[in-house]
Amino acid sequence: MKTLKFKLYEHKRNRYLKRTVNASGVIWNHCIALHKRYYRMWGKHLSCAQLQKHIAKLRKRKPFWQLVGSQAVQDICQRIEKAYQLFFKHRDKGVKPPGFKKVKKYQSFTLKQAGYKFLGGHRVKISNQVYQYWNSRAMEGTVKTLTIKRTRLGELFMFVTVEQPAEQESTSATGKTAGFDFGLKTFLVCSEGFSIEAPLFLKQGLKAIQKASRELSRKKKGSAHWERARLNLVRQHEKIAHQRRDWFWQLAHRLTHRFDKLYFEDLNLKGMQRLWGRKVNDLAFGEFLQILQWVAKKKGKVVQFIDRWFPSSKTCCHCGHVLESLSLETRYWRCPSCSNLNDRDDNAAKNIKAVGASTAAPGGDVRRAQPAVAV
């Protein structure tokens, strides 16, 4: 499966799609209300089949709901069911049940087998309306789903999921492996002797965001000037997100071109975010790992994680001696066993590589590595 993204041209008929997105948000909120009411009355979870059957009856006498295709309504019910199942499974970890959403902030609806048709000339027909999209890439394979998504700027994008035979890029194997240590001062420190500094795009654009935010706060909410200031603030945030994402893609391709196996620590990023806040958000290490894993899979490379509880910084990479404690302020420490001076981040990267290589899955499969026993 592969998802392709296309931007729809601005046109006055796009208001029909925006109204459909709003109607999807109304249906979502009604489904959430039904779930809450059903549990309050019966003490049970409302099944997806019951919800779909009830919404199908309501949809017949609500003209506004009929803007949303029947399969898109089914997809909304299925997404809610999936969110509840995740809540039941991981509520001990802090996962919350799905909740109400503001209709103006609701983003998308999905069509599966019916409700759309691709025409010639980069056009697509959705609900008896024809829309033209920017053909930024070739669409090859069997189309499975089509999703219309509205951004905070009011722009519309089309996400097309296609099924095509799995193929890997023809990249030569280098036979090299590397361990990487993530840090707040240095984005990545490699075990092979180099480090990567993050551009910190949020820090660079913070003054522009603060200026746009001040301008928004001075406007009367709901006025035309307020809307113009809001869009300006959204543009500033989107610019930073696009810059960061572009840099992540370039970095992922450089690392996978140089190494066949890449090892990282399984970090508690949410905990780090609570401690260091905006700096962790600016680095966006979780987003980078998602992109890196996708690029590695496409190129036939391996991204593997070691256990988060392995003391990579406190273990000497030369003799395996483990310190009892090591403060975050200490960047260098001398091993009491072998007397080697260790750089904190470089030492951790070498340990991550050693642990990942010693517990690598046979056949190159990606699996979570467990900590090795220190000598």
Segments making up each domain of the chain, as ranges? 2-163, 177-364
Q: Note the pLDDT tens digit of each residue in 11-45.
A: 999 999 999 999 999 999 999 999 999 999 999 99
pLDDT at 274: 86
Query: How many Cβ atoms sit within 10 Å of the Cβ of residue 258?
Result: 14
Cβ–Cβ under 8 Å, residues 182 and 265: yes
User: Measured between alpha carbons, how far is residue 332 from residues 78, 272, 313, 327 in Å?
Assistant: 52, 22, 10, 11
Q: Note the pLDDT tens digit of each residue in 317-353.
A: 888 888 888 888 888 888 888 888 888 889 999 999 9
Cβ–Cβ under 8 Å, residues 312 and 183: no
Among residues 135, 162, 70, 52, the alpha carbon closest in space to that of 109 is found at 70
CA distance 59 to 79: 18
> Which one has a higher pLDDT value, 325 or 214?
214
CA distance 245 to 243: 6
CA distance 337 to 335: 5
Torsion of CA 307, 308, 311, 316, to 10 degrees: 60
CA distance 227 to 10: 18
Query: How many Cβ atoms sit within 10 Å of the Cβ of residue 10?
Result: 9
pLDDT at 364: 42
pTM here?
0.83
- 178: enclosing H helix or E strand: strand 177-182
Cβ–Cβ under 8 Å, residues 252 and 291: yes
CA distance 352 to 322: 14
Query: How many Cβ atoms sit within 10 Å of the Cβ of residue 18?
Result: 14
Q: Note the pLDDT tens digit of each residue in 86-145.
A: 999 988 888 899 999 999 999 999 999 888 999 888 999 998 899 999 988 888 888 999
**Mean pLDDT, rounded, for 206-219:** 96
CA angle 200, 205, 209 (to 5 degrees): 135
Query: How many Cβ atoms sit within 10 Å of the Cβ of residue 271?
Result: 11
Residue 261 neighbours by CB under 8 Å, 6+ apart: 176, 177, 178, 301, 302, 304, 356, 357, 360, 364
For the cut 80, the answer to whether the pLDDT of residue 165 exceeds it is no
For the chain, percent of residues with pLDDT exceeding 70: 94
Identify the sign of the CA torsion 134, 14, 245, 313. Answer: negative
pLDDT at 365: 40
Tokens representing 230 are: 């809001």
